[in-house]
Amino acid sequence: MKKLILARKLSQVLFLSLFIYLLWLTPHTAAFFKIDPLISIFSLFSLIMLGAALIIGRFFCGWVCPLGTIIDACGIKAKNRDTGFLRKVKYYVLGVIVIFAFLGIQIAWIFDPLVITARFISLNFIPSFTLALDKLFIFLIKSLNFYAPLYDFYRMLKLSILGTKIFYFPHSFITLSFFVIICGLALITKRFWCRILCPLGAIYALTARFCLLRRHVDKCMHCMTCSINCRMSAIKEDSSYRKEECILCMDCVYDCPDLATKFSWPGKNTGRRTEGSISRKDFLFLIASSFLFLGFKGKEEGLKKKLIRPPGVKNEHEFLNKCIRCGNCMKICPTNGLQPAIFESGLIGIWAPHLVPEIGYCEYNCNLCGNVCPTGAIPKLSLARKKEQKLGAAMIDKFICLPWSQNKECIVCEEHCPVASKAIKTYEEVIAGKKIRKPYVDISLCIGCGICQNKCPTRPERAIKVLP
């Protein structure tokens, strides 16, 4: 019985399911980011996690991290290889993130494992899973004529977990390929990402160097089984190990033919200090190379298009720095209107949320996006405050608008306007004996929620558009 391994696998599956559950069905999606030292270094919970790493080691990577679990699953059949000095790369990644942070540019969102997983689950997994489930039900109900009980069950699902709307993100293949590449690297060697690239792993590695829990081998026969099998390539050929690389997966305890490997608290024979993971020379080189990036700063300023940001966002620069692109707001937005940007707001703004009124508008009675934002990039607002937020202002294109250009009755925009006193007003004009009402926008009342643009019946271009 490999009890310890069983316990680890159980914990991994449990945390992965918890992660998906929180993202899918609850508004408490920020919980996982509160324990992430890379994102919220000063939160109490991440300090507790670092403290725990100081005692036990990198247990987070091996037992908790949802991305680690998925990578483990991908690499189950992969050959294990020695990655050698490449393991240093992750310290460079961390270093670049920290240096950029000091320069006032936040790029942790590119590499944080929790963010990568959350983004994949929100933008790829849940939409495709619900779509597949929905289509399956439609197939069963419609073509096999399975009405009554199954249909009622389907309708109940639609109003609860399945959602009345199947979400759609036009550019989600980019997040998907990013995720697939990271997991696919595990086919080259087990835990490729965790060994070589993960900056969160680097933080834990720096802490775990001093941890108290240690691995001991009594009377080693030098069969090298543990060293070859180690998924982190942490065990050296002489059966000693790099403490900061060990994620406590417990494989070596059971791989050892003599069962001579044990993990224990410090006693009389404490292991020797591990060798340094990053040298002073490396560190200086890192800083010098990072400054090269500075040359590009501000070059794209003029190219940036302004986008409609979520309600309550005031300062674009501050928003982009706080946003970690986890996708929580896009998952929770009931109309599917919040979408990840691609290059619309420059390189710095990739994957940050913006409102696309053609897909969905900002629901008037809703402040969920601010509530789920883990970093406060979208401010948490009371419902009354949120209703006052201006996202932009609507503008009517008289060459497309049906009443203006074709003298047809319409004013769908006025009908849907959620502002109690209507931000869209109408002129009445009598043309050929028919009263036609032509809409115009009262900018002082318009909150830019985009419902007018969403519901405008003209295609392909909408006659009313919200400009940020």
State the CB neighbour count (10 A cutoff) for residue 105.
16
| Coil vs helix vs strand at 289 | helix
40 binds other proteins (CB under 8 A): no
80 binds other proteins (CB under 8 A): yes
184 binds other proteins (CB under 8 A): no
Closest distance of CB 304 from other proteins, Å = 31
What track of x and - describes contact with other proteins for positions 300 through 319 (by CB under 8 A)?
A: --------------------
State the CB neighbour count (10 A cutoff) for residue 100.
18
382 binds other proteins (CB under 8 A): no
168 binds other proteins (CB under 8 A): no
Contact status, residue 440 vs residue 424, Cβ threshold 8 Å:
yes
Options 139, 168, 291, 343; binder of other proteins; rule CB under 8 A: 139
455 binds other proteins (CB under 8 A): yes
Contact status, residue 201 vs residue 61, Cβ threshold 8 Å:
yes
Closest CA to 34 of 338, 310, 373, 264: 373
Residue 67 vs 366, nearer CB to other proteins: 366
Options 3, 17, 82, 276; binder of other proteins; rule CB under 8 A: 82
Strands 338-340 and 353-355 turn out to be antiparallel
Residues 204-223 that bind other proteins (CB under 8 A): 223
420 binds other proteins (CB under 8 A): yes
Structure tokens given for 150: 């199954």
Which one of the spans 80-88, 102-110, 266-274, 323-331 is the region binding other proteins (CB under 8 A)? Answer: 80-88
Closest distance of CB 221 from other proteins, Å = 13
Options 83, 124, 172, 375; binder of other proteins; rule CB under 8 A: 83
Q: How far is CA 324 from the centre of its chain?
A: 7
**DSSP bridge pairs for 355:** 338
Closest distance of CB 188 from other proteins, Å = 7
| Torsions phi, psi for 299 (to 5 deg) | -75, -25
Options 130, 335, 371, 375; binder of other proteins; rule CB under 8 A: 335
138 binds other proteins (CB under 8 A): yes
Sign of torsion over alpha carbons 219, 221, 222, 226:
negative
> Number of residues in contact with other proteins, rule: CB under 8 A?
56
State the CB neighbour count (10 A cutoff) for residue 275.
10
152 binds other proteins (CB under 8 A): yes
DSSP string, 173-239: HHHHHHHHHHHHGGGTSTTHHHHHT-HHHHHHHHHHTT-S-EEEESS-----HHHHH-TT--B-TTS
Closest CA to 333 of 131, 207, 165: 165
Stretch (H or E) spanning 263: strand 261-264
Closest distance of CB 468 from other proteins, Å = 23
d(CA 241, CA 231): 13
Closest CA to 329 of 297, 364, 307, 353: 353
Residue 71 vs 114, nearer CB to other proteins: 71
419 binds other proteins (CB under 8 A): yes
Options 170, 271, 376, 457; binder of other proteins; rule CB under 8 A: 457
Closest distance of CB 419 from other proteins, Å = 7
In order of 59, 119, 208, 238, 373, the CA distances from 114 in angstroms are 15, 8, 19, 34, 14
Closest distance of CB 458 from other proteins, Å = 8
Closest distance of CB 334 from other proteins, Å = 4
Closest distance of CB 438 from other proteins, Å = 12
Which one of the spans 20-28, 54-62, 141-149, 302-310 is the region binding other proteins (CB under 8 A)? Answer: 141-149
Residues 423-452 that bind other proteins (CB under 8 A): 426, 437
| Torsions phi, psi for 412 (to 5 deg) | -60, -35
Contact status, residue 187 vs residue 78, Cβ threshold 8 Å:
yes
Options 402, 441, 446, 447; binder of other proteins; rule CB under 8 A: 402
197 binds other proteins (CB under 8 A): no
Name every residue whose Cβ is closer than 8 Å to that of residue 6 and which is 6 or more positions away in sequence.
none
Closest distance of CB 283 from other proteins, Å = 24
Residue 200 vs 424, nearer CB to other proteins: 424
453 binds other proteins (CB under 8 A): no
d(CA 230, CA 222): 14
Q: State the residues that interact with other proteins by CB under 8 A.
A: 79-84, 86, 135, 138-139, 141-143, 152, 155-156, 158-159, 163-165, 188-189, 223-225, 227-228, 237, 334-335, 363-366, 402, 408-412, 414-422, 426, 437, 455-457, 459
